[in-house]
Amino acid sequence: MTSTMKSLDVAGHAISYDEHGDRGTPTIALLTGWCQDHRLFDPLVPLLAEDHHVVRIDWRGHGEDRTPVADFGPTEQAGDTLAVLDAIGVDRFLPLSTSHGGWANLELTDHVGADRAPAAIVIDWLMTPASAEFLAGLAGSHDPDNWQAAQRELFDIWLNGSSNELVRNHLDNEMAAFDHEMWARSCDVIAAAYRQWGSPLQRMDKVAEHRPIRHLFSQPTAPEYLQAQQDFHDAHQWFTFRMLGGETHFPTLDSPALVAEEVRTLARSTF
């Protein structure tokens, strides 16, 4: 799809964003994971824009301006997102995040409250505590000689043998275009979040106002992973989940129609 990105100066950082659909309809704010940009949502936006106002926002250092930036994390990401939404006059919205953009999603929903963000969607976010192997992989991002090999191992896991050209392009040309500094920063921020909160499920339990949170994912498929989410749902009815059955770690690319269906259902019940 074609897009003419706009830019807003937020605390000295150029934040790229665009809008689609009718402003008189419910707003869906689309937030990527680290080392991704708005193109992750290209297949999803036309589906949602039929009956929603859709805003895509790139993190600082992730948009059209890739000038190196100082360290930042979920607090700054949430603040940048809110600055864009305020600037374009968005009041109530449903935030949808992918992967570890979920940490910023929850910071944002905590900050604005349930009246303004009455629900949230998180996509393919590793819900359970980080394994020692996962944390070791994050720490390895600082190795200047081997970081790309470690990155490629993750890409292969996320691709899962799929031949989906959109996913392959996203990994090989879009994510791989981010430099070592941003990749290492992302790994540091993600590791710090697991140290602070334990897991995304534990982070959700600490939100100031509970509201519907829906997790959509295709990886992992292990029974114990599903059971952990079922157990959390049983104790927290506001949390629900659905395994989409896609081939990869990127449902907005390999299963956009299913994601759009889930967004519509949640938006209808909350707006």
Burial of 87 (0-12, 13-18, 19+ CB in 10 A): middle
Alpha carbons within 13 angstroms on the beta-carbon side of residue 87 total 18
233 labelled catalytic: no
Per DSSP, the three-state class of 67 is coil
* H-helix or E-strand spanning residue 105: helix 102-112
89, two tokens: 């006059």
DSSP state, residue 208 = S
- Alpha-carbon distance values, 238 to 53, 227, 250, 264 (Å): 25, 16, 24, 17
Of the candidates 17, 20, 19, 21, the one whose C-alpha atom is nearest the C-alpha of residue 37 is 17
User: What span, in angstroms and rounded, lies between the C-alpha atoms of 65 and 62?
Assistant: 7
Catalytic residue among 38, 62, 100, 249: 249
The four Cα atoms 32, 38, 43, 45 give a dihedral, to 10 degrees, of 90
Catalytic residues: 249
